[in-house]
Amino acid sequence: MTYATDRLHEEIAYVAYHFHWALDDILDLEHADRLRYTNEIAKINTRMRGPG
- pLDDT truncated to tens, each residue of the chain (52 aa)? 567 889 899 999 999 999 999 999 999 999 999 999 999 999 999 999 987 6
Give the pLDDT confidence score for residue 23 in this predicted structure. Answer: 94
Q: Is 9 in a helix, a strand, or coil?
A: helix
Prediction pTM value: 0.78
Q: To 5 degrees, how large is the angle CA 8–CA 11–CA 5? A: 15
Q: How far apart are the first and last CA of the chain?
A: 40
Helices (H), 1-52: 5-19, 23-27, 31-49
